[in-house]
Amino acid sequence: MEKIKFGKTGLLVTRVAMGGIPIMRLERKDAAGVLRKVIELGVNFIDTANGYGDSEEKIGEAIQGMNRESLVIASKSGVKDKKTFLEHVDLSLRRVRVDYIDIYHLHGVNSEEKMSEVMGPGGAYEGLEEAVKLGKVRHYAFSSHQTETAKKLMLTQRFEVAQIPFNLVNTEPEEELIPLARQLNMGFIAMKPLAGGALEDAVLAFRYLSQFPSVVPDPGIERVEEMEEILTVMENVRPLTPEEKDAIERIRKELGKVFCRRCGYCQPCPEEIPIASVLSIESAVKRAPLKDVIRWGFGKAMEKARSCTECEECLERCPYNLSIPSLIKEKLAFWDEMVSK
């Protein structure tokens, strides 16, 4: 697998990273097996977060006995203050069972308010600085779902790596942030390369991303076959065909910009509504017969959606500023029409 120099970090990373969210669903032994096989395929970059359940522990188990210097491990903490951030760094080190984390992110800096807090006196950035000085972390990074906030963080020139949503639908970074990353010699991780699962054609999604040689996508991987399919694309880069460009345009028109990326930041819902499932019901109905969609649990999710009180707690948490209560109503109307046929 081809490796690229990852901005000013000087790290050599594969053109694809492995995202650590889906392995939370696997048994520990199975997760370790998937991770080891992905590394055997040549992928050396593993990206996870302190808040991703037991992902860090499973990565730690998988890499035991491997050459630590051959791997690039990234993790994150979403806290705002220095003290708790340093506690999270130490927790990550214990979980992954390593002496240092290569890249550590201030996680989910999605607003100017949070940016001011994490970058201000006593903020998480001071914790990141201390962790680097102590050798616990090697490189400064942040993740953000908001383009304008991400740009401001990049322009501080106090980070070496940025992680931002980028895919064939969320194309905003292509115009400004990716060129800015190149200008500042920053590593760029494409978060949500499949738009949180909204993009079903992985080959087309990664064919698009392969056009950006300095960008490293980090798909969440649960099965080895998923990474094998992605590597087939990323190892055979070629220009997009006219047919592929047409297909991309069709998907963009179909999805638009107002759709759920299934990040889960809107949870927990006081009424226990599985918001991501509800907002993705149309995609599920397109993929399979209604009886299978119901069997997969979407029917129960849609019935639960009827208990929405429009309390708007989810609105405060959604990094994409979706009008979730209104969307829930729309999806319920769609569902009722489907089941009435």
**CATH number for the domain harbouring residue 50:** 3.20.20.100
Q: Are strands 72-77 and 137-143 parallel, antiparallel or unpaired?
A: unpaired
Q: How many residues does the chain have?
A: 341
Total domain count for the chain?
2
The DSSP letter of residue 15 is S
Residues 6+ apart with CB under 8 A from 326: none
Residues 281 and 154 in one domain: no
Residue 279 has pLDDT above 90, yes or no: no
Are the beta carbons of 68 and 95 closer than 8 angstroms? no
Residues 6 or more apart whose CB falls under 8 angstroms from that of 115 comprise 109, 149, 152, 153
| Lowest model confidence (mean pLDDT) among 239-253, 276-290, 293-307 | 276-290
- Count how many Cα atoms sit within 13 Å of the Cα of residue 148 in the half-sphere of its side chain: 6
What is the three-class DSSP state of 6? coil
- Give yes or no: residues 98 and 233 share one domain: yes
- How far are the Cα atoms of 147, 247, 262 from residue 172, in angstroms, in the given order? 7, 19, 19
For residue 195, is it within any domain? Answer: yes
Please indicate, yes or no, whether residues 238 and 306 belong to a single structural domain of this protein: no
- Residue 253 located in a structural domain: no
pLDDT in tens, 156-185: 999 999 999 999 999 999 999 999 999 999
Residues 75 and 147 in one domain: yes
Q: Per the domain annotation, does 252 fall within a domain?
A: no
In a domain, 261, yes or no: no
Picking from 113, 111, 126, 141, the residue whose alpha carbon sits closest to that of residue 81 is: 126
Residue pLDDT, tens place only, 3-52: 999 999 999 999 999 999 889 989 999 999 999 999 999 999 999 999 99
List beta partners, residue 141: 105, 161
Amino acid letter, residue 4: I
Q: Are residues 328 and 211 in the same domain?
A: no
> Are residues 98 and 144 located together in one domain of the fold?
yes
Q: Which helix (H) or strand (E) holds 58?
A: helix 55-62
From 102-111, 224-233, 297-306, the region with the lowest mean pLDDT: 297-306
Q: Is 270 a domain residue?
A: no
173: Cβ–Cβ under 8 A, 6 or more apart, which residues? 147, 150, 164, 165, 166, 188, 190
Joined together, the tokens standing for residue 310 give: 């429009």
Listing DSSP states for 208-264 in one string gives HHTT-TTEEE--B-SSHHHHHHHHHHHTS--PPPHHHHHHHHHHHHHH-S-------
pLDDT at res. 41 = 97
Within-domain flag for 139: yes
Q: What percentage of the chain has pLDDT greater than the value 70? A: 99
Non-local (6+) Cβ contacts of 244 within 8 A are: 204, 207, 208
Residue 168 DSSP code: S
Query: Per-residue confidence at 224, pLDDT binned at 50, 70, 90?
Result: very high
d(CA 273, CA 313): 12
> Structural domain of residue 21, as residue ranges?
3-242
263 in a domain, yes or no? no
**In terms of domains, do 296 and 214 share one?**
no
Q: Is the peptide bond before 179 cis (omega within 30 degrees of 0)?
A: no
Tell which residue, 190, 153, 152, has the closest CA to residue 171.
190
Instruction: Report the alpha-carbon distance of residue 45 to residue 103 in Å, rounded.
Output: 10
pTM of the model: 0.85
Q: Are residues 225 and 160 in the same domain?
A: yes
Q: State yes or no: pLDDT of 287 exceeds 70.
A: no
Convert the pLDDT of each residue in 124-159 to its tens digit: 999 999 999 999 999 999 999 999 999 999 999 999
CB pairs under 8 A, 24+ apart, for 174-180?
Answer: 174/212, 176/147, 176/151, 177/147, 177/150, 177/151, 178/212, 178/214, 178/215, 180/151, 180/154, 180/155
pLDDT at 198: 82
pLDDT at 283 over 90: no
**CA proximity to 218, closest of 287, 295, 165, 266:** 165
3-state secondary structure of 104: strand
Claim to verify: residue 311 and residue 194 sit in the same structural domain? no
Query: Which run of H or E residues covers position 322?
Result: none
Does residue 195 sit in the same domain as residue 319? no
Evaluate if residue 327 carries a pLDDT over 80. yes
186 and 315 together in one domain = no
Mean confidence (pLDDT) of the chain:
93
Q: Which of 224, 242, 260 delimits the end of a domain?
A: 242
- Distance from C-alpha of 34 to C-alpha of 40, rounded to nearest angstrom: 10
Same domain, 35 and 172: yes
